[in-house]
Amino acid sequence: MLGRRPRIGLIEMDQKLRTLGKYTLVRRLAVGGMAEIYLAEQEGPGGFKKKLVIKQILQSFAEDENFKTMFQDEARLVAQLTHPKIAQLYELGEIEDSLFIAMEFVEGVDLQEIVEWSKENNRPVPFDIAAKLMIDLMEALDYAHDFTHEGVPYNLVHRDVTPHNVMVSNDGVLKLLDFGVAKALANQSKTQAGAVKGKFAYMAPEQVQNAQLDRRVDIFAAGVVFYELLCGEKPFGDDLAAIVNVVQMPTPDPRQKRSDVPAELVQVVMRATAKDPNDRYPDAHAMVVDLQNYLRQVGAFIGDRDIAAFVREMQGIPLTRGSGPRQTVSEAPGPLKTDSAPMSTIATPPPSVVPDYKTPSGTAGIAAPQLHSSLGEVGGPSTAELPQLGGNEGPRSNTEAISLQDSSTRKIFGVFIVLFFALVLASGALIWVYVSKKSETVEPAVAVTKTTPEVKPKTKTPAVETAFRHANGDIVSFHSTPKAKVYFEGEMVGETPFSTNLRKGSYTVTFKTDKKSIDKTFEVKELINSVSVKF
């Protein structure tokens, strides 16, 4: 709930804006099990203003010293965690017996809202988007699980990994929230005996049975979250039903709800949600590896900008600069350099890379780099090929100015330069006349054929690629049951499941297996699109 975009039904403050120390409470976002959540602002000199979230302990718990100690334990733990995928804690404060923490404000949606939007709009979350979100979540958990301070492991377990506690910002950055029920297995105050914390639908069997916990309960919960992202519903039901089902019922195959879920992702879900902790992933990083391998196999390269496009489409927010789908360098616009380009264009370096060499004070002459640049434009020799002038021994450096000691030498040098350029220009003219006359006796077709011998073979494949893929296009995911190769205009463009970027418009592709093929026509109309067939 931290930093969630306000929706209808959120509690508005029924009093004038009030302050809590240096923070102004703008709006109450929600009331949790142990605290009130406020959107707040911090102001400073020079128009400084920063949004943040204040989590203030409920007054009904204010006099409970045990609860207060637990709250302080939470703040101390979270304050030590510094990771881009974990919401940052700024301050723990206490004013007039009011205990609070100031935390990072995340403007976006949580995973629960993504699941609900997907169901309401009949738009399943694309597999590559779901996999990327889970990679980010597992990286955050992996960091927290292995966190040490001054060489001492904290053995942190979140214990409340749910869609509500995973935010995705409008810029596509995932943030894990609320370590309020996290437990350091060493050196933390004990909570009420027998109390089961968290939400039942995401609890591992050992958590429901109040047994000893370790990081693998978070892996189980993450597996349940992944199932929900893929299928749009929880695998074990809600609340009390989940308590029984999570212990007794095997995890249902996600393909029972969504038939085209890739086998690789099914395996991730099933392993993460195994009943026996020893059958699960041993740590979060192992699950990250399997998810990354899946994305590599399908050729999907998903980044924060792709997630941002998905999140912003959900909320009807226009894409901002830097938030669009990914763009590859190879397709970036730019001048095409060919063998027929003018020599001056090729030989003359851009001004930004030409050093500003200056002749030292008290000397006369021409800087060697300047000679090189001038001669290069007419195809003359480089400075390394120029004869050494003035009787100096040994080669000169490129940055050393040619210096002559007296006026007579300078005059001789000047005459030599003039004669040298005259000879170069005269030679160029003679060569031009010779070539011009010779070209009159040669068939033009021969010259043209030699300059472009292989234009057609080289451009055939890129032409198809350009027609089908576009770096700034919308995301399109292709799926089939069973796997199939996808062809566009006779060229194979991928093997399901995979994703690419296409311009808006109508396309016809062919899905082919060893035994059958299906033509599929589809429209690219949205930022996120899905095309699937079943043989």
For 5, 163, 201, 410, the CA distances from 228, given in Å and listed in that order, are 21, 9, 11, 85
Q: CA dihedral defined by 466, 472, 473, 474, rounded to 10 degrees?
A: 150
Q: Structure tokens of 211?
A: 């047994």
Q: How far is C-alpha 243 from the geometric centre of its chain's CA atoms?
A: 37
Which of 256-293 are b and which e, b meaning 16 or more Cβ less than 10 Å from the residue's Cβ? Answer: eebebbbebbbebbbbbbbbebeebbebbeebbebbee
Positive or negative, the CA dihedral 368, 374, 376, 381 is negative
160 tagged catalytic: yes
C-alpha 220/C-alpha 161 separation (Å) is 9
| C-alpha separations of 402 from 378, 385, 387, 407 in Å | 21, 15, 12, 14
Amino acid letter, residue 381: P
Which of 142, 160, 178, 260 is the catalytic position? 160
Residue type at 21 in one-letter notation: G
Q: Is 535 exposed, middle or buried (0-12, 13-18, 19+ CB in 10 A)?
A: middle
Scored b (16 or more CB within 10 A) or e, 504-530 reads: eeebebbbbeeeeeeeeebebebbbbb
> How many other C-beta atoms lie within 10 A of the C-beta of residue 134?
27
Which amino acid, one-letter code, is at 179? F
Q: What span, in angstroms and rounded, lies between the C-alpha atoms of 526 and 62?
A: 50
Smallest CA-to-CA distance from 479 within 311, 255, 226, 310 is with 255
Cα separation, 55 vs 67, whole angstroms: 14
- Cis, bond preceding 497 (omega within 30 deg of 0): yes
As a whole number of angstroms, the distance between CA 52 and CA 91 comes to 11
Instruction: Tell me the CA end-to-end span of the chain in Å, nearest whole number.
Output: 42
112 sits in which H/E element: helix 111-120
Rounded distance between C-alpha atoms, residue 363 and residue 182, angstroms: 75
Q: If you ran DSSP here, which 8-state letter would residue 347 be given?
A: H
- What is the DSSP pairing of strand 528-534 with strand 474-481? parallel
Beta 148-149 vs 49-57: how paired, if at all? unpaired
* Residue carrying the six token digits 């309960």: 217
Catalytic residues: 160
